[in-house]
A and B are shown apart, each in its own frame.
Chain A
Amino acid sequence: MNYIFTFLILISIICAIINNRLDVAIDEMLKSATRAVQISFSLIGIMAFWLGIVKIAQNSGLMELFSKLVKKPLVFLMPDLKENPNALSNVALNISANALGLSNAATPFGIKAMDNMQEKNPNKNVATNSMCMFLAINTAGFQIVPAVVIAILSANGMSNPTQIILPTLIVTTIAFVSAIFFAKILEGRFE
C-alpha cells in the first residue's frame, strides 16, 4: 500500500507536468481532500440510524435466532465443526452480524471462531479446509442492506437510493454462492 500510494501520486504529478495541467491537478488535489471529509461527515446520520435499528435486533435476540438458523447449513459446509460447537456458534454469529451490516461487531466473532478452529488444528501454520471455507464466505461479504453505500448515495442527493438494495442483494448472493463453490472444489489441491 505504501508503494502504491507513493507511485500513484508521483506518476500523477509527472503526468500533470507533461500535460501542462499542474495548476488544475493541484487544485483538484486540495479540493478532493475537503470533499473526503464532507463525505465522511454526511455518513454519520444514516450510519447512526442503521446501527441503532440493528442494535434493537441484537438486544432482542433476533440476531442469535438468525445464527441458530444458519448453523445446520454451516455444518454441511464445514463438517469438522460438528465436534467444535464453540467455533460453529462464533462462525454463525459472525455471518449474522455481517448480514446485518455490522462489520465492527462481526470481526471479534470471526477472530474467536478462528481461535476455536486453531485449537483443533493439528498443523498450526497451515489453514484447515474449514478455515478456508469460512474465509471465502467472509470475503464474499454477504449483506442484506448495504447501509454505508446507501448513506453515501443519499448524502449526495440521489432521489431513491434504496433502488440499489435488490440488485446488490442478487449480486452478493451470487458472489456468496460462488465463494462456497470455489472453496469446495479447490479443497485438497493446495496441500
Chain B
Amino acid sequence: MIKFLNLLSLYILPLIIVFILIYALAKKTPAYESFVDGAKDGFSIAIKIIPYLIAIMVCTALLRASGAIDIVQNLLKPVLDFLKIPVETTLIMLTRSLSGSATLGVLGDIINQTGVNSYATKLAAVIAGSSETTFYVASVYFGSVGIKKFKHALLAGILADIVGIFAAIFVCSWFFL
C-alpha cells in the first residue's frame, strides 16, 4: 500500500506537466513563450524572501545555539515522544499560521540541524507545504476593503490549522515511519 502511494507521489508532478502541455497543444497556446514568460518571476520571488529568511533563521539559530530552546523542548519532550513528534518540529507548528517566509526559514533550520532525509525534515516539509498563513491572509484581504470585525473567520482558520497539524503528524507517521 505504502509502496503504491509513494509511487503515486512520484507520478503526480509529471502527470500534471504532461496534462498542461497537451492541453496547451490542443488549444494552440505557445508553450515555450509562455514558459519563458512565467519563469521570469522565479528570480524575483526568491529574492523577495531573503530578508524574511535571514531574520527568522538568525533568530532560530541563536535560540538553538544559546541553549534557550533546550529549556522549552525539554519541558515538552514527554508529550512529543508519546506522539512520535520530533522535538525540532515544534517551532514550525507555531510559525505556520503567522508567516510563510518564517516557516520556510524554520524548515531550512530543521534541514540544517537534522539532515535532509530525516523524519523531522519530512514532517516539517509536509506542514510547510500544506498551510497558508492565516493571519497574513486575514490582514491583507480584510484590510484591503476596510473590514474591522472579522467575526468567525480567524477562529475557523486557526481551528483548521490545528486540525492540519494533527493530520500532518498522523499522515507522516503512516508514510515515513
Contacts and interface: CB of A to CB of B under 8 A. Distances in A.
A145 B21 CA distance: 16
Interface residues of A, number: 107
B163 A174 contact: yes
A171 B126 contact: yes
B69 to A, nearest CB: 9
B58 interface: yes
A55 B10 contact: no
Contacts of A39: 53, 57, 104, 108
Contacts of B21: 56
Interface string A120-150: 0000111101011011101111011110111
A103 B140 CA distance: 13
Contacts of B40: 48
B116 A153 contact: yes
A149 B160 contact: no
Given A15-B66, A138-B137, A35 B108 contact: yes
A40 B155 CA distance: 32
A126 B131 contact: no
Contact of A13 (B62, B126, B129): B62
A161 to B, nearest CB: 8
A132 B70 CA distance: 39
A115 B121 CA distance: 39
Interface stretch (B44-52, B73-81, B82-90): B44-52
A145 B152 contact: no
A133 B162 CA distance: 17
Interface stretch (A59-67, A68-76, A78-86): A59-67
Contacts of B62: 8-9, 12-13, 16, 25, 28-29, 32
Interface in B122-163: 122, 125-134, 137-138, 140-142, 144-153, 155-157, 159-161, 163
Contact of A49 (B42, B112, B151): B42
B27 A57 contact: no
Interface in A76-116: 98, 103-104, 107, 110-111, 114-115
Contacts of A114: 141-142, 144-145, 147
Given A8-B63, A35-B112, A175 B164 contact: yes
Contacts of B54: 33, 36-37
B153 A132 contact: yes
B126 A139 contact: no
Contacts of A143: 129-130
Given A40-B53, A127-B147, A157-B116, 5 more contacts: A15-B71, A140-B160, A145-B16, A165-B9, A168-B130
11 contacts: A32-B109, A35-B108, A56-B34, A114-B145, A124-B147, A125-B148, A132-B150, A139-B161, A141-B132, A158-B117, A170-B167
Interface of A: 1, 5, 8-9, 11-16, 19, 21, 24-25, 27-29, 31-33, 35-37, 39-41, 43-62, 98, 103-104, 107, 110-111, 114-115, 117-118, 124-127, 129, 131-132, 134-136, 138-141, 143-146, 148-150, 152-153, 156-160, 162-172, 174-176, 178-179, 182-183, 186-187, 189-191
